[in-house]
């Protein structure tokens, strides 16, 4: 490592990123008659908060309504949901929300937004709706969403659109792509996918249907760019299955497998392998148990009831017959693996001979947390296997060559990369052009940028729908503004100092000594002198003041803030938030 | 992406990691006579704050005194330096501090710690000392360090030790390994290195010397584990030179190269190539200019003075004759590249045809910042090339096969992996055993864990020196405790609420309405009702109280804190820090 490599993220002295707050929304012009508008409300400059609006005359259909996880400079924020300002006043036009699959970046906005959009019907496959329904349990105050099940062969008529589905492989079963037949042409939206025609059952890529689309003069293909920065082809689940099976078979002690609770296909695979090898499975972690229950109830996962044993009973089995499947592979602080590493788990401690398998990738932003977790497991004496050492995880998204295959199969007139950071959209474009796509027929739109299509073709307009972040924090939706975030950053970086002075109203004179309270700034017990100096400085400002100036004068408070701030910066090179309070008596 | 993958890092409701504060330092036993103690004060559970103590009777020598960059849950912290509690009272024994090379994770503790250690002589090669000297300019209040230059062939006598050096390749010139000849045997400390015998001049790996050591029955090799998790061999600078040259040669427009200002070898290489191709170079970024000045003054970099042109004059040259070398490849907020991407740079805007080359890796923790930067550059219209697309960066550290080579060459009796996360040390151990090392002769010590060597051999004891984090924040060293950090985390996550009530001393009665000030909690302008409710709740607590209870009673303040806290959590599911202030008049 060398010098000054780490970016400064916590000082919080800068402007938080994102759009400026409280600007009046830019007026989007009235929709032209007989023109299809396609508007990515999110997911086109990030991985997350996927949502796309399709609008034609009085018909609006929305595909996906996801959430995005916060960046490092958004302390306290739970997540970000799509901004639906564009749809305000158009609620009656919304004929339906179509959900491609059950991952949070595609469904997470529903409890917060569906009822604000007039509670339109939400269409999804059985597992997708099962997960939506389960999540709704956490939002008992939100109106019940209007869920309607579809199958891969369902055809819907939604206003002036006809909608069909096709199966795509992803790391959750029951994922579908969406075919929207509009009066100006057919648009195909892939959701998240990889090409894995060998997958079975609810996880198959329906190559037959996709090949058919190639004969139908598709107007536009909107395709997943999550992995468009990666050359080559995605690993198939079949390829990793061999490795995972070998690891489970050869484990000499207990095998602890950490993975995402949302990777239902992977969970299913691991349980099947372990069961086949006569091993018992312990399932630890609330979200994992919940997802497995949903999947089992709906018949997506099948296993003998004796295969899964409660954690309290695992000591009854030989160590090499135990597979513990658990959450926390991203280093999440309270999930099972971190508690095991920290010896805080009620039942599981690392024992000699344990192997921990991370059957997962590392989500960007979690690298250090996963490293800490791995270090902790090694310190406890475990062996660790991860995707950097061996192919034990296959991602759920198409890589560059997979994308080119998709382009070649569907043969759309236009390609619109979606779902990914802006770089990924551009790299998707680049791959498409390499694969023979005409550059002028690739449309790279940022969030909110409106694409208009008529029978003549599609254009990227200069108009934009509002896509400012909408923050969810606890029970609040949108009540944390950029101002609140900026304060949080300042508080995080340097803490705060409250200075309380009492002034006699009649005489304007200071009563007693100002009180100083500070948090997150310096350790008070070792800095009495500094606190004393703040009191003295404040006293001086108030004693020197013109007695005619009222004590609640903003200028007076500003003076205290500025002078104490300047003083503390000189002394410490920190800029705590300073709050002067003047009490009049 | 799927659900719940991101670890929660900002809520700040948990305990910050690290050791508990203010525990009395565990007593380390008196040093045994004629026994060598080796104590890693840092760098053995992290990448950073490298520092190792060698102690034998009345001789102490320290190798490196670096800094570590903070983790995500240490808001406001500038960096962490080694804890030198173990050396307290032993200052007169310290015969010298030896610095292996000029990177901050090896020199960064000097301005804060050298004078506290009795200002012992600091030994380093010319470039290393040049960088230490330059950095000292930022700490004018610290006593001048006692710098003494060494060359690769210097031999020092430091107390009972003799010290020699050997050249190692790294991505900064003038890096050395250290040979410490002690009465119980010879210990070799590699500092950071890769094996690159083809490197020239000040960056060569002195294979001849290393081979010699193999015949000298070396007691212990302490070797760099930074890249011990990676199989294979490190790329050489020669290999990437070809690619970088090709990119510089073929650039049709301007080429903007972002890299670390500390990668002085890389900077030198790029300047040489560009000059050879008749291109002009613009150098942007303070640290880059500074480092190049030092390296040029000392003769490590040579170029014609006309090769470098000021940024203001670059418009005079054809675009394909311009190479802009700049800082910010880690996505640092205020460095050149981010300012360019945000259109905030005074002179440089992305223009059509520009290519941005990231000749760097991404330091763990900076992934998202670098992604944001890359997205910004694409949005501005640049082409981007990075190490994931092409070999345009070679790391400075030995990979697994390089490490095995080093073990085979030096043939030490013991191996002690150093410099890396605990996982890396374990993986270094694993590689060594694969390479034929006897498991019982590999010593994996955590931070502070004391290794004792006599002529009979070395053992890892159970004793530990204190290694609790020492935080540097602005001008403060060690004045930010874990308590302060915990407050910062809470403030960051949910902000704070100050409730101020005035009480008449004589009667114990509330005067007026309590005042509420809040920051970082909710946006006040949209939450008047909530503020009003806080006032009412507080009023009720104070009106209901027994008038005999004094107003400054801690129980009363706790009551306000608890009840308001509970109320706000019910309303918002947030836990702001609540500060009740009671003013008596």
Q: In this predicted model, what pLDDT tens digit does every residue of A12-42 receive, in sequence order?
A: 333 344 444 444 555 677 889 999 999 999 9
Mean pLDDT (whole number) for B122-144? 94
- The DSSP H or E segment spanning A565 is helix A554-572
Select from A3, A365, A574 the Cβ nearest to the Cβ of B104.
A3
Q: pLDDT tens digits for A377-425?
A: 999 999 999 998 889 999 999 999 999 999 999 999 999 999 999 999 9
Q: B416 exposed, middle or buried (CB, 10 Å; 0-12, 13-18, 19+)?
A: buried
Contact A368 B364 (CB under 8 A): yes
With a cut of 80, say whether residue A549 has pLDDT above it: no
Nearest CA distance, A215 vs chain B (angstrom): 31
- Taking each helix axis from N to C end, the angle separating A286-297 and A126-136, rounded to the nearest 10 degrees, works out to 140
Q: Which residues of A touch B426 (CB under 8 A)?
A: 378
Specify whether the backbone of A12 is left (phi greater than 0), alpha (psi in -120 to 50) or beta: left
Dig out the tokens for B203 from the structure: 């960056």
Token pair belonging to B84: 């030198």
Q: At B493, is the pLDDT very low, low, confident or very high (cuts 50, 70, 90)? A: very high
pLDDT (mean) for B49-67: 98
Q: Do B491 and A495 touch (CB under 8 A)?
A: yes
Closest-CA residue to A164 (of A150, A175, A176, A154): A154
Instruction: Give yes or no for a contact between A493 and A11, defined as CB atoms under 8 angstroms apart.
Output: yes
Q: Residue B26: what pLDDT?
A: 57
3-class DSSP assignment, residue B44: coil
Cα dihedral sign for A36, A41, A45, A47? negative
* d(C-alpha A86, C-alpha B144), whole Å: 62
CB contact under 8 Å between A384 and B423, yes or no, is yes
- Chain A environment of B260 (Cβ under 8 Å): 2-5
Higher pLDDT, B275 or B71: B275
Mean pLDDT, residues B374-394 taken together:
94
Mean pLDDT of A501-524: 89
Pick the more confident residue, A239 or B148. Answer: B148
Residue B205 per-residue DSSP state? -
Alpha helices in A321-365 (DSSP H): 336-341
Whether B10 is catalytic is no
Q: What percent of chain A has pLDDT over 70?
A: 95
pLDDT in tens, B101-124: 999 999 999 999 999 999 999 999
Q: Please, what is the average pLDDT of chain A?
A: 92
- B260·A484 Cβ contact <8 A: no
Of B9, B330, B479, nearest to A5 by CB-CB distance is: B330
Give the C-alpha separation, A189 to B167, whole Å.
58
**Angle formed by the axes of helices B286-297 and B126-136, nearest 10°:** 140
Task: Give the count of Cβ contacts less than 8 A between chain A and B.
Answer: 324
Contact yes or no for A500/B581 (Cβ under 8 A): yes
| Helix, strand or coil, per DSSP, at residue A384 | strand
What residues of A act catalytically?
224, 397
Highest mean pLDDT, choosing among A442-451, B2-11, B230-239, B517-526: A442-451
Strands B220-224 and A280-284, bridge-based pairing: unpaired
Q: Which residue of B has its CA nearest to A424?
A: B375
Task: Indicate the DSSP class of residue B170.
Answer: -
With beta carbons under 8 A apart, name residues in chain A contacting B526: 479
Which is the catalytic residue, given B103, B106, B393, B397? B397
The C-alpha atoms of residue A503 and residue A549 are separated, in whole angstroms, by: 11
Residue A553 pLDDT greater than 80, yes or no: no
Q: In a 3-state reduction of DSSP, which class is residue B93?
A: helix
SS3 content of chain A, % helix, strand, coil (to 5): 30, 25, 45
Q: Which residue has the tokens 């997802």?
A: A291
Give Cβ neighbours of residue B462 (< 8 Å, ≥ 6 apart). Answer: none
Chain segment B419-456, per-residue pLDDT in tens: 999 999 999 999 999 999 999 999 999 999 999 999 99
Residues A514 and A500: beta-carbon distance below 8 Å: yes
> Does the pLDDT at position B19 exceed 50?
no
What is the reported pLDDT for A24? 54
Give the model confidence (pLDDT) of B508-565 as tens digits: 888 889 999 999 999 888 889 999 999 999 999 988 877 777 766 788 899 999 999 9
For CA atoms A290, A293, A297, A302, the dihedral sign is positive
When pLDDT is averaged across residues A183-208 and rounded to a whole number, the result is: 91
Phi then psi dihedrals of residue A141, to 5 deg: -85, -15
| Nearest C-alpha in B relative to A342 | B17
The position carrying tokens 């970088």 is: B244
Neighboring chain A residues of B375 at a CB cutoff of 8 Å? 45, 421-423
Check if the beta carbon of residue A498 is closer than 8 Å to that of residue A516: yes
The pLDDT-based confidence of B585 (bands split at 50, 70, 90) is confident
Q: Do B3 and A332 touch (CB under 8 A)?
A: no
d(CA B74, CA B92): 34
Residues 6+ apart with CB under 8 A from B511: A585, B502, B503, B504, B585
Are B498 and A105 an interchain contact pair (Cβ–Cβ within 8 Å)?
A: no
Asked whether the beta carbons of B447 and B421 are under 8 A apart, the reply is no
Chain B contacts of A334, Cβ < 8 Å? 8, 14
Q: What is the ipTM of this complex?
A: 0.88
Query: Residue A417 and residue A206: Cα distance in Å, rounded?
Result: 21
Q: Which of A365, A135, A345 is nearest to A261 (CA)?
A: A135
**At A239, is the pLDDT very low, low, confident or very high (cuts 50, 70, 90)?**
confident
pLDDT tens string B165-210:
999 999 999 999 999 999 999 999 999 999 988 877 788 899 999 9
Q: Measure Cα distances from A494 to A78, A517, B473, B482 in Å.
A: 23, 14, 9, 14
Tokens of B433: 């055993």
Nearest to A80 by CA among B365, B6, B379: B6
Q: Is the pLDDT at A6 greater than 60, yes or no?
A: no
Beta-carbon separation of A483 and B523 below 8 A = yes
B75 contacts in A (CB within 8 Å)?
Answer: 10, 12, 75, 492-493
* Contact criterion met (CB below 8 Å) for B433 and B439: yes
Bridge partners of residue A504, in order along the sequence: none
DSSP-based helix, strand, coil % in chain B, nearest 5? 30, 25, 45
Query: Which band of pLDDT confidence, cut at 50, 70 and 90, is reported for residue A334?
Result: confident
At residue A552, the pLDDT reads: 67
pLDDT digits (tens, 9 = 90+) for A347-387: 999 999 999 999 999 988 889 999 999 999 999 999 999 99
Encode burial over B39-48: b for 16+ CB neighbours within 10 A, e otherwise.
bbbbbbbbbb
From A364, A489, A526, residue closest to B367, measured CB to CB = A364
DSSP characters over B289-352? HHHHHHHHHTTSS---GGGB--GGGGGGS-GGGEEEEES-TT--TTSHHHHHHTT--SS----T
Residues 6+ apart with CB under 8 A from A532: none
The pLDDT, as a whole number, for residue A197 is 80
Closest approach of A236 to chain B, Cα-based (Å): 17
Cβ of A10 within 8 Å of Cβ of B487? The answer is no
What percent of chain A is modeled with pLDDT above 90?
Answer: 80
Q: Measured between alpha carbons, how far is A72 from A330 in angstroms, rounded to an integer?
A: 16
Phi-psi region of A22 (alpha: psi -120 to 50; beta: other; left: phi over 0): left
Closest Cβ–Cβ partner in B4, B172, B332 for A2 = B172
Residues 6+ away with beta carbon under 8 Å from A186: A179, A180, A213, A216, A217, A218, A219, A220
Q: Do B484 and A14 touch (CB under 8 A)?
A: no
Please tell me whether residue A377 adopts helix, strand or coil conformation.
Answer: helix
């Amino acid at each position: 490592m060398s010098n000054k490599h780490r970016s400064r993220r916590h000082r919080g002295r800068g402007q938080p990123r994102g759009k400026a707050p409280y600007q009046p929304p830019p007026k989007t012009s009235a929709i032209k008659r007989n023109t299809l508008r396609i508007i990515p409300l999110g997911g086109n400059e990030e991985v997350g908060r996927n949502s796309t609006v399709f609008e034609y005359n009085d018909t609006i259909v929305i595909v996906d309504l996801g959430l995005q996880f916060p960046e490092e400079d958004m302390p306290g924020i739970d997540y970000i949901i799509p901004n639906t300002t564009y749809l305000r006043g158009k609620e009656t036009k919304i004929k339906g929300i179509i959900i491609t699959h059950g991952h949070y970046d595609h469904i997470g906005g529903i409890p917060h937004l569906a009822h604000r959009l007039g509670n339109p019907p939400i269409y999804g496959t059985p597992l997708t709706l099962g997960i939506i329904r389960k999540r709704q349990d956490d939002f008992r105050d939100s109106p019940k969403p209007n869920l309607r099940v579809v199958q891969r062969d369902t055809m819907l008529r939604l206003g002036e659109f006809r909608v069909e589905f096709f199966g795509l492989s992803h790391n959750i079963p029951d994922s579908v792509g969406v075919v929207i037949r509009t009066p100006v042409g057919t648009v195909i939206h892939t959701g998240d996918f990889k090409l894995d025609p060998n997958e079975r059952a609810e996880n198959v890529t329906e190559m037959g249907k996709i090949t058919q689309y190639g004969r139908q003069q598709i107007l536009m293909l909107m395709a997943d760019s999550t992995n468009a920065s990666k050359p080559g082809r995605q690993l198939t689940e079949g390829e990793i299955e061999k490795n995972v099976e070998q690891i489970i078979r050869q484990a000499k002690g207990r095998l602890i497998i950490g993975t995402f609770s949302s990777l239902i296909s992977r969970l299913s695979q691991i349980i099947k392998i372990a069961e086949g090898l006569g091993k018992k499975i312990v399932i630890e972690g609330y979200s994992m148990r919940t997802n497995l229950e949903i999947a089992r109830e709906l018949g997506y996962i099948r296993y003998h009831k004796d295969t899964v044993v409660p954690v309290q009973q695992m000591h009854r089995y030989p160590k090499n017959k135990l597979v513990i499947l658990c959450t926390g592979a991203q280093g999440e602080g309270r999930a099972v693996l971190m508690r095991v590493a920290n010896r805080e788990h009620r039942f599981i401690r690392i024992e000699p001979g344990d192997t921990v398998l991370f059957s997962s990738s590392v989500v960007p932003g979690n690298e250090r947390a996963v490293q800490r977790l791995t270090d902790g497991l090694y310190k406890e004496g475990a062996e660790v296997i991860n995707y950097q050492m061996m192919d034990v995880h296959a991602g759920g998204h198409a890589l560059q060559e997979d994308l080119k295959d998709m382009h070649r199969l569907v043969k759309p007139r236009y390609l619109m990369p979606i779902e990914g950071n802006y770089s990924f959209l551009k790299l998707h474009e680049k791959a498409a052009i390499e694969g023979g796509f005409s550059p002028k027929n690739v449309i790279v739109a940022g969030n909110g940028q409106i694409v208009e299509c008529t029978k003549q073709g599609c254009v990227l307009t200069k108009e934009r729908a509002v896509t400012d972040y909408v923050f969810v924090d606890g029970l609040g939706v949108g009540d944390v503004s950029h101002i609140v975030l900026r304060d949080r950053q300042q508080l995080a970086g340097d803490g705060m100092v409250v200075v309380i002075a009492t002034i006699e109203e009649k005489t304007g004179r200071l009563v007693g000594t100002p009180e100083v309270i500070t948090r997150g700034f310096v350790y008070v017990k070792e800095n009495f002198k500094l606190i004393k100096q703040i009191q003295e400085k404040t006293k001086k400002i108030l004693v020197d003041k013109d007695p005619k100036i009222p004590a609640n004068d903003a200028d007076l408070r500003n003076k205290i803030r500025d002078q104490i701030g300047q003083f503390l910066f000189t002394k410490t090179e920190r800029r705590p938030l300073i709050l002067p309070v003047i009490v009049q008596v």
